A and B are shown apart, each in its own frame.
Chain A
Amino acid sequence: MSEAIMIKDAVCSFCGCLCDDINVEVEDGKIQRVRHACRLGSSKIMGHARIESPMIRKNGVLVAVSFQEAYDKAAKILLAAAKPLLYGWASTSCEAAKKGILLAEEVGGVLDSTATVCHGPSVIGIEEKGLPGATLGQVKNRADTIVFWGCNPAEAHPRHSLRYSSNSCGKFTQEGREGRKIIVVDVRETRTSKNADKFIRISPGSDYEVISALRMLVAGKGDSVLDEVGGVLKADLADIAATLKAAKFGAVFFGLGITHSRGRYKNIDNALSLVAELNSHSKFVIMPMRGHYNVGGIGQVLAWSSGYPMSVDFTRGGPYFNPGETSACDLLARRDVDAALIIAADAVSNFPRATAKALAGIPVIQIDPYENPTTLLSDVVIPCAIAGVEVEGTAYRMDGLALRLRKMVDSSFPSDEDILMGILESVHKQRQMTANEGA
Chain B
Amino acid sequence: MIIKGGIVYDPANGIYGDEMDLFIDQGRMAMQAKGEEIDARGLLVMPGGVDAHSHIAGKKVNTGRIMRPDDARLGTEPRTAVCRPSTGYTVPNCYAMGYRYARMGYTTAFEAATPILEARHTHEELEEIPIIDKGALTLFGNNWQVMECVRDKDLTKLAAYVAWGLRAARGYGVKIVNPGGGEAWGFGGNVKSQNDIVPNFDVTPAEIIVGLAKANEMLNLPHSIHLHFNNLGKPGNYTTAIETLDLLKDIKPSRMRQVVHVAHMQFSAYGGTSWRDFESKASVIADYFNCHNHATMDMGQLLFGSATTMTADAPLEYGNARLTHNKWSNHDIELEESSGVVPMTYFRKMLVNAVQWAIGLELALLVKDPWKVLMTTDHPNGSPFVNYPEVITLLMSKPKRDAEMATLHEQVPKRTTLAGIERELDWTDIAIMTRAAPARVLGLDDKGHLGPGADGDVSIYNLRPLEVDTSLDHVLVKKALANAKYTIKGGVVVSKEGQILATPPGRTFWVDAAVPQVDTDRLMIDLEEKFAKYYSIQIANYAVQDAYLPHAKVIRAGLLIEPLPEVA
Query: Contact residues of A with B, CB < 8 Å?
Result: 8-9, 11, 20-21, 94, 98, 105, 123, 126-138, 140-142, 163-164, 169-172, 248-249, 276, 279-280, 282-283, 285, 299-301, 303-309, 314, 316-321, 392, 394, 396, 400-404
- In the complex, the answer to whether A303 meets B334 with C-beta atoms within 8 Å is no
Question: A309 to B66, Cβ gap below 8 A?
Answer: yes
Least CB distance from A38 to B in Å reads 16
Contacts of A141 in B (CB 8 A): 186, 334-335, 534
* CB of B168 to closest CB in A, whole Å: 13
Q: How far is the CA of A321 from the CA of B69 in the complex (A)?
A: 8
A138 contacts across to B, CB distance below 8 A: 186, 332-334
The answer to whether residues A130 and B321 also contact, given A138-B186, A248-B187, A401-B118 and a CB cut-off of 8 A, is yes
With beta carbons under 8 angstroms apart, the residue of A20, A135, A309 that contacts B334 is A135
A-B contact pairs, 7 of them (CB 8 A): A127-B66, A248-B187, A282-B188, A306-B87, A307-B93, A308-B69, A308-B87
Partner of B85, one of A105, A136, A309: A105
Q: Is the CB of B536 within 8 A of A304?
A: no
Report the nearest A residue to B59, measured CB to CB.
A400
Given contacts A20-B537, A130-B329, 20 further A-B contacts (CB under 8 A): A126-B67, A126-B329, A131-B330, A134-B334, A135-B332, A141-B534, A164-B536, A248-B187, A279-B318, A303-B65, A303-B66, A304-B124, A305-B84, A307-B92, A318-B76, A318-B78, A319-B72, A400-B118, A401-B536, A404-B541
Which 10 A-B pairs rank lowest in CB-CB distance, beginning with the nearest?
A137-B334, A317-B78, A307-B87, A307-B72, A283-B188, A137-B536, A134-B332, A130-B327, A130-B329, A318-B78
* Bound CA–CA A130/B64 (angstroms): 9
B472-490 CB contact bits vs A (8 Å, 1 = yes)? Answer: 0000000000000000000
- For the complex formed, measure the closest distance between the CB of A65 and the CB atoms of chain B, giving whole angstroms: 31
Complex Cα distance, B95 from A305, in Å, reads 7
Q: Is the CB of A129 within 8 A of B188?
A: no
Measured CB to CB, the closest approach of chain A to B501, in angstroms, equals: 19
- With an 8 A cutoff between CB atoms, is B261 at the interface? no
Interface size classification for chain B: 35 or more
Residues of B bordering A, CB below 8 Å: 57, 59, 61-63, 65-70, 72-73, 75-79, 84-88, 91-95, 117-118, 120-121, 124-125, 128, 144, 185-188, 200, 318, 321-322, 327-335, 341-342, 533-538, 540-541, 545, 547
Are A137 and B535 in contact (CB-based, < 8 A)? yes
Instruction: Tell which of A142, A282, A299, A394 touches B120, judged by Cβ atoms closer than 8 Å.
Output: A394
Residues on B with beta carbons closer than 8 Å to the beta carbon of A401: 117-118, 121, 536-537
For B321, the chain A residues whose CB sits under 8 A away are 130, 276
Residues on A with beta carbons closer than 8 Å to the beta carbon of B76? 318-320
CB-CB < 8 A to B117: which residues of A? Answer: 135, 401
Which residues of B sit under 8 angstroms from A171, Cβ to Cβ? 144, 533-534
Q: Are B94 and A305 interface neighbours, CB within 8 A?
A: yes
In angstroms, Cα B125 to Cα A316, docked, is 24
Residues of A within 8 A of B537 (CB): 20, 137, 401, 403
Q: Is the CB of B62 within 8 A of A300?
A: yes
How far apart sit A361 and B502, CA to CA, in the bound complex (Å)? 42
